[in-house]
């Protein structure tokens, strides 16, 4: 499955360069091979390769259909910069679990720091990871990945629910706010949820204040304290289970 950034202009497609490289050079697709492309209108087009000549390949549409595999809510996962390659892990697994957007921020207790000169390169890499995971999990959209130098700059356009997973709430034994939130979502229309998670060192009191001032509610996610990369995945899995099953 491949993603196109523009709708199909006709029932025929000349494979764009990256798609050509992957389909013809890497996968060695032959004439007659079928594959799918997803357009920005979330339509899935079944294509058949009909010509490969002079470094150009042409496919024609055999049929198209809609099959909504997206979560019924828009979920944005906002994480304090985690250590090592954990951002890769969060983006890959979070994409499989249905997140729409990821934002990483320099948090007070982040051990990891991103060299400002390398932010663009890191985001390109993470976007590629999101694309690979979206293709493999048959998503209809590729999640976006952003970086924030300062949590105070966070904006939450059209948010309907904003939470921050806070270990201090969990330590109080308070998980009912989160379970109530998931239960209440069922009855609402298209939700736009923003959820913040701390890095390995947790979230500082100052950050909680910034978030509460922006309308975020601090919630516990149950009695066990999870690793920084586990908490957002648990959140998405709980959301998905609560809303769809
Ligand atoms: N150092 C912190 C401590 O010992 O309490 C743990 C931080 S935890 C590894 C990283 C982040 O995951 C937290 O800031 C929080 O956002 C989230 N998290 C992990 N377990 C959680 C839970 N049970 N409830 C709420 N948030 C949790």
**Domain spans, the chain:** 2-65, 73-244
Q: Which comes out higher in pLDDT, residue 172 or 90?
A: 90
Q: How confident is the model at residue 204, as a pLDDT?
A: 96
Quote the pLDDT of residue 188. 66
The reply to whether ligand 1 has any atom less than 6 angstroms from the CB of 228 is yes
Binding site membership of 79 for ligand 1 (Cβ less than 6 Å): no
Q: For residue 38, report the phi and psi dihedrals to the nearest 5 degrees.
A: -115, 130
The predicted model gives 39-66 an average pLDDT of 94
Q: CA–CA separation, 6 vs 46, rounded Å?
A: 16
* Reported ipTM: 0.96
CB-ligand 1 contact for 174 (6 Å cutoff): no
- Beta-carbon contacts of residue 133 (< 8 Å; ≥ 6 apart): 91, 92, 93, 95, 96, 139
- Whether the pLDDT of residue 245 is over 60: the answer is no
Distance CA 8, CA 138 (A): 19
The answer to whether the CB of 197 is under 6 A from ligand 1 is: yes
Mean pLDDT of the chain: 93
Residue 201 CB less than 6 A away from ligand 1: yes
Q: Does position 80 have pLDDT exceeding 70, yes or no?
A: yes
User: Residue whose CA is closest, atom 2 of ligand 1?
Assistant: 202
pLDDT category, 133, cuts 50, 70, 90? very high
Output the residue whose Cα is nearest ligand 1's atom 9.
227
59 touches 13 (CB < 8 A) = yes
Indicate the CATH number for domain 2-65.
Answer: 2.40.240.20
* 73-244 placed in CATH 2.40.100.10: no
Convert the pLDDT of each residue in 151-178 to its tens digit.
999 999 999 999 999 999 988 876 678 8
Distance CA 177, CA 161 (A): 12
Atom 12, ligand 1: residue with shortest CA distance: 228
Residue in 238, 232, 170, 224 with CA at minimum distance from that of residue 197: 232
d(CA 89, CA 126): 10
Average pLDDT for 141-159: 95
pLDDT at residue number 67: 86
Residues ≥6 apart with Cβ < 8 Å to 175? 219, 220, 221, 222, 223
Write down the pLDDT at residue 182. 84
| CA 165 / ligand 1 centre spacing (Å) | 7
Rounded Cα gap, residues 36 and 63, in angstroms: 10
Average pLDDT over residues 35-44: 92
**H or E stretch at 16:** none
Residue with the two structure tokens 């985001």: 123
User: Would the pLDDT of 127 be above 60?
Assistant: yes
Residue with CA nearest ligand 1 atom 19: 226
């Amino acid at each position: 499955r491949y993603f196109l950034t523009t709708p199909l202009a006709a029932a025929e497609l000349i494979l764009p360069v990256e798609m050509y490289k992957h389909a013809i050079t890497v996968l060695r697709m032959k004439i007659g091979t079928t594959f799918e492309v997803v357009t920005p209108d979330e339509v899935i087009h079944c294509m058949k390769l009909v010509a490969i000549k002079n470094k150009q390949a042409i496919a024609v549409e055999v049929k198209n259909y809609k099959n909504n595999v997206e979560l019924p809510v828009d979920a944005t996962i906002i994480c304090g910069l985690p250590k090592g390659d954990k951002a890769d892990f969060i983006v890959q697994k979070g994409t499989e679990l249905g997140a729409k957007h990821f934002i990483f921020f320099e948090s007070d207790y982040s051990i990891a720091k991103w060299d400002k000169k390398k932010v663009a390169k890191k985001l390109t890499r993470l976007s590629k990871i999101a694309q690979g995971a979206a293709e493999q999990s048959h998503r209809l959209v590729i999640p976006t990945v952003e970086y924030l130098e300062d949590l105070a700059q966070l904006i939450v356009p059209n948010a309907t629910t904003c939470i921050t997973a806070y270990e201090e709430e969990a330590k109080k034994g308070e998980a009912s706010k989160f379970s109530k939130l998931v239960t209440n979502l069922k009855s609402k229309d298209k939700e736009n949820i923003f959820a913040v998670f701390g890095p390995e060192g947790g979230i500082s009191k100052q950050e909680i204040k910034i978030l509460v001032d922006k309308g975020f509610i601090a919630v516990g996610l149950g009695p066990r304290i999870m690793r920084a990369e586990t908490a957002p995945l648990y959140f998405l899995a709980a959301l998905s289970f609560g809303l769809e099953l």
